[in-house]
């Protein structure tokens, strides 16, 4: 059985579960409670996952407390990560479009997104009134399961709990629009930090189910038209290299999410540029990790 971890329920009161048979959610809290574990947060579950899996897996086919997937809202698999660590310029064309063909980035470019910009895979993405250049970036999300600092590339994958579809929503004009001669030339955190600017999900697929993450294919369409189509093998820095680089400067903790960069085809790269507008429907998926589908809505002020 492919192990797919979810959070389900209304916004703010989601609870962890496991998706089984593609259409059924089994709540984790009752199973863990019977084993004496009072855990309600996916971050805590991931920290103990090797032990918890041996408890949970035999119970999935026996558990009576099953819920139809169609009857519940699926939230982000990690509700409030301690850190959302995003990597910039990690696919060749995306890098050269911004930095130029002569760019030589010797270390991965790291920035942070606030944890409360995380939203569910099918929740609306809210377009702030300040931006006219709202853009999408499908990314492979790497979820940390084992804490560590200065993790070696050799050991890096041992710290991965699983993988998830992610979208690094960006207000381009806010992030980069002030111009290079202006003191506010770079407003990355502001332009990428609005509420709903980090959809995650629909579920987390555990690392043992993804033996070759470099083989994963990322695709994104807007209103049925394919905009992005790339493979993780094109990343300039591999997942072990990213984990080693990030953990050199900050400790990684269970539930942290690393967004590994986006392939070509973002709205700003098109000719002419094509940004997200109210009512647009975005579908973004990664091989074996599921698909998110959300609609863009103007912010109500």
- Note down pLDDT in tens along the chain; length 301 residues: 679 999 999 999 999 999 999 999 999 999 999 999 999 999 999 999 999 999 999 988 876 789 999 999 999 999 999 999 999 999 986 445 555 554 555 689 999 999 999 999 999 999 999 999 999 999 999 999 999 999 999 999 999 999 999 999 999 999 887 666 666 567 888 999 999 999 999 999 999 999 999 999 999 999 999 999 999 999 999 999 999 999 999 999 999 999 999 999 999 999 999 999 999 999 999 999 999 999 999 999 7
- pTM: predicted TM-score of the whole model, two decimal places: 0.94
Residues 6+ apart with CB under 8 A from 18: 3, 4, 5, 6, 25, 26, 28, 56, 60
Domains and CATH numbers, the chain: 4-75 (no CATH), 84-298 (3.90.850.10)
* Residues linked to residue 117 through DSSP beta bridges, in sequence order: none
The pLDDT value given to residue 205: 98
Q: What is the distance between the alpha carbons of residues 200 and 60, in angstroms, rounded to a whole number?
A: 24
The pLDDT value given to residue 94: 47
CB 110, CB 137: distance < 8 Å: no
Q: What is the distance between the alpha carbons of residues 182 and 173, in angstroms, rounded to a whole number?
A: 13
Residues 6+ apart with CB under 8 A from 119: 76, 125, 195, 196, 197, 198, 199, 200
C-alpha 11 chain-centroid distance: 18
Q: What is the distance between the alpha carbons of residues 277 and 127, in angstroms, rounded to a whole number?
A: 8
For the stretch 70-108, what's the b/e string if a residue is b when 16 or more beta carbons lie within 10 angstroms of its beta carbon? Answer: eebebbbbbbebebbbbbbbbbeebbeeeeeeeeeeeeb
């Amino acid at each position: 059985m492919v192990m797919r971890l979810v959070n389900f329920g209304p916004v703010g009161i989601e609870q962890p579960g496991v998706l089984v048979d593609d259409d059924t959610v089994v709540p984790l809290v009752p199973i863990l409670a019977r084993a004496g574990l009072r855990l309600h947060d996916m971050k805590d579950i991931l920290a103990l996952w090797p032990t918890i899996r041996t408890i949970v897996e035999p119970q999935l086919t026996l558990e009576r407390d099953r819920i139809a997937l169609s009857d519940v809202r699926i939230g982000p698999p990690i509700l409030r990560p301690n850190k959302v660590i995003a990597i910039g310029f990690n696919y060749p064309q995306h890098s050269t479009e911004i930095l130029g063909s002569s760019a030589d980035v010797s270390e991965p470019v790291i920035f942070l997104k606030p944890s409360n910009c995380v939203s569910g895979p099918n929740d609306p993405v809210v377009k702030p009134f300040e931006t006219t250049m709202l853009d999408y970036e499908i990314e492979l999300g790497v979820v940390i399961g084992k804490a560590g600092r200065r993790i070696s590339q050799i050991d890096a994958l041992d710290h991965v709990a699983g993988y998830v579809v992610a979208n690094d929503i960006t207000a381009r004009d806010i992030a980069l629009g002030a111009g290079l001669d202006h003191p506010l030339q770079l407003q990355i955190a502001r332009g990428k930090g609005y509420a709903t600017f980090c959809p995650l999900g629909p579920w987390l697929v555990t690392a043992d189910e993804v033996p070759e993450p470099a083989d994963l294919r990322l695709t994104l369409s807007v209103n049925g038209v394919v905009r992005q189509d790339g493979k993780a093998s094109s990343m300039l820095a591999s997942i072990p290299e990213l984990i080693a680089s990030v953990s050199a400067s900050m400790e990684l903790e269970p539930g942290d999410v690393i967004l590994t960069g986006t392939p070509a085809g973002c709205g700003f790269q098109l000719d002419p540029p094509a940004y997200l507008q109210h009512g647009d429907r975005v579908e973004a998926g990664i091989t074996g990790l599921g698909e998110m589908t959300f609609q863009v809505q103007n912010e109500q002020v």
